[in-house]
Structure 1
Amino acid sequence: MSVCATCKKPLEVEIEPEEDDVQMSGSSSKAPAAAPETYPDDVQLSCGCHFHWDCLLEAYQVTECSNCGKDIASTSSDGSQQVLCNLNNEGGLQENLDILPLLTEESYLKAYPEDRKNRAFLEFCREGDVQAIVGMLQDDESDDDEDEDMEGVQDDSGKEVGVDAMLRYQDPIGDMQSGLHAAVHAQSREVAWLLLLLASNIPLLEIPPEVFQEAEALGIMRGITEDKVDIRSLKDANGKTAEDIAKDVGGVWVTGWVGTGKLAV
């Protein structure tokens, strides 16, 4: 078996099963702990070198193999750069998988770990997962309460933290898209309305009653927005607002959205 080029250990990983508190019949004792399961953990790069996934992330040098120094980048059919590999893990073997987006994201988060929560928030916006979005906002509000008033407070990197910053976060390695851009791309009206309610200056009378009802049921509502950036004014790296993206995407945005002011200031 090949070994990892970095740590020289077999290309596998042990995963502990989730704890099971099922009680043994007639006893309050816990069931014996199950033995960990072993799965492959093998990233074979185009140069032929093998790595554990975590070891590759630790040693990642953009588009050069950290072990042999060979260029591992290639050009895709659309002219963009890619890093192809054969990935074998608990999900099975995936051949010619482009891992450059994952490597780029993990490298960024390694340098800026404080952005991990904001990027998770954006991913939920892309997926249209309202419950997850609300859960993150509520968790952040709880953290703010514990730290008194976090509004406008900055972390050590100079970035604002808290709910307002999360709502208006723009992805530095994703064309500077905001949550509203992501929701528009995903054609998720539910997420778009939630963001407009919480992070825009759109008159509340223009928000549908059912949006208010759902927000109230979820335990969230708009705070003071007059001194905050209106999420509709945010532009991506191509200078496009969510309204511009809606015009390009079409679909659910064509009727009753584009040109109405709902997605634009």
Structure 2
Amino acid sequence: MSVCVACQKPLEVEFEPEDYEEDVQMGGSSSKAPVAAPDMVPDDVHLNCGCHFHWDCLLEAYQVTECPSCGKNIASSSATGAQQVLVNLNNEGGLQENLDILPLLTEEFYLKAYPADRKCRAFLEFCREGDMSAIIGMLQGDNESESDSDDEMADEGDNADGEDTADVGIDALLRYQDPIGDMQSGLHAAVHAQSREVAWLLLLLASNLPLLEFPPEVFQEAEALGIMRGLTEDKTDIRSMRDANGKTAEDVAREVGGVWATGWIGTGKLAI
């Protein structure tokens, strides 16, 4: 078996099964059910220069265009002229050949430099996927953590590095723009995903769209979840945010069409 060129260990990793130890009733007495031993699964990133890495080892030594082991160029150009890094990736999900891992590497490299953005980027990814339950879970969690830590934040002010620690929580999530994804906001992401449900939620919480413009069911669901609009007049209206190409969410909606073609474009819902 080949080994990782970085750590010289076999190209596999322990995969913990989801089975857990629990009481099992047998003949009136209880005993512990056996716990399955962890499985060994592949963990092999095969670069086009011929070098093999564990995924974490590659991230640790990551360089954009060169193999961190042999120094050969590992980047190439796609049919559209965009830079890519094609590999054969073999992990618990199976073998994926000619997979472009440059977007994954770029994101992980960015988050290593800016770990505070990890939560915001997760929120944005949920908007891209139209995952309402995950979005609500994050917002509810932040709402609780904000109320628990308001006094603590007021006392702390700035952190040791001089960065403002108060600018966190729901507002930061709702108005985050992706610095490595064309500065998209959550509303841009919802429009691309054609998720009206996510769009309504973001408009309710992060815009000044008049409340009379919202369908009654939006309020009913928000009330059931314990989420409602706070003060927005002094905050950036999410509808005004522009991506790296200067486009608002409504500009994107005009291009996407689909669910936005009727009752959204030109009505003020997606643009101020």
Partner of 2:23: 23
Counterpart CA distance in 2 for 1:14 and 1:232 is: 46
Partner of 1:257: 264
Q: Which amino acid aligns with 2:263?
A: G
CA contact (8 A) 2:208 2:232 kept: yes
Partner of 1:148: 150
User: Any gaps of 5 or more consecutive residues in structure 1?
Assistant: none
Counterpart CA distance in 2 for 1:30 and 1:147 is: 41
Q: Which amino acid aligns with 1:139?
A: G
Counterpart CA distance in 1 for 2:227 and 2:183 is: 26
TM-fit CA distance, 1:32 = 2.8
CA contact (8 A) 1:168 1:178 kept: yes
Answering whether residue 239 of structure 2 is matched by residue 232 of structure 1, we say yes
Counterpart CA distance in 1 for 2:54 and 2:183 is: 31
Does the residue aligned with 1:147 lie in a helix, a strand or coil?
helix
Partner of 2:115: 113
CA contact (8 A) 1:200 1:232 kept: yes
TM-fit CA distance, 1:141 = 1.0
Partner of 2:227: 220
Partner of 2:56: 54
Partner of 1:192: 199
Partner of 2:86: 84
> What RMSD over aligned residues (CA atoms) do the two structures have, in Å?
1.6
Counting only pairs closer than 5 Å after superposition, residues 38-53 of structure 1 correspond to structure 2 as 38-53=40-55
Partner of 2:39: 37
User: Any gaps of 5 or more consecutive residues in structure 2?
Assistant: none
Counterpart CA distance in 2 for 1:58 and 1:206 is: 49
Which of 190, 200, 221 is the matching residue for 1:183? 190
Counterpart CA distance in 2 for 1:199 and 1:28 is: 53
Q: Which amino acid aligns with 2:103?
A: P
Q: Which amino acid aligns with 1:231?
A: I
Answering whether residue 172 of structure 2 is matched by residue 170 of structure 1, we say no
Counterpart CA distance in 2 for 1:223 and 1:231 is: 14
CA contact (8 A) 2:21 2:34 kept: no
Counterpart CA distance in 1 for 2:230 and 2:241 is: 19
Counterpart CA distance in 2 for 1:64 and 1:30 is: 51
TM-fit CA distance, 1:22 = 3.1
TM-fit CA distance, 1:33 = 2.5
Counterpart CA distance in 2 for 1:28 and 1:145 is: 43
TM-fit CA distance, 1:148 = 1.8
CA contact (8 A) 1:154 1:161 kept: no
Counterpart CA distance in 2 for 1:118 and 1:24 is: 42
Partner of 1:203: 210
TM-fit CA distance, 1:158 = 4.1
- Give the paired residue count: 264
Query: After superposition, what is the alpha-carbon deviation per residue over 1:69-124, rounded to whole angstroms, capped at 9, x for unaligned?
Result: 01100000111000000001111111100000000000001111111110110011
CA contact (8 A) 1:59 1:66 kept: yes
Partner of 2:124: 122
% identical aligned pairs: 76
Counterpart CA distance in 2 for 1:48 and 1:67 is: 10
Partner of 2:98: 96
Query: After superposition, what is the alpha-carbon deviation per residue over 1:140-194, rounded to whole angstroms, capped at 9, x for unaligned?
Result: 111111112669x776544721101110000000000000000001111000000
TM-fit CA distance, 1:19 = 4.4
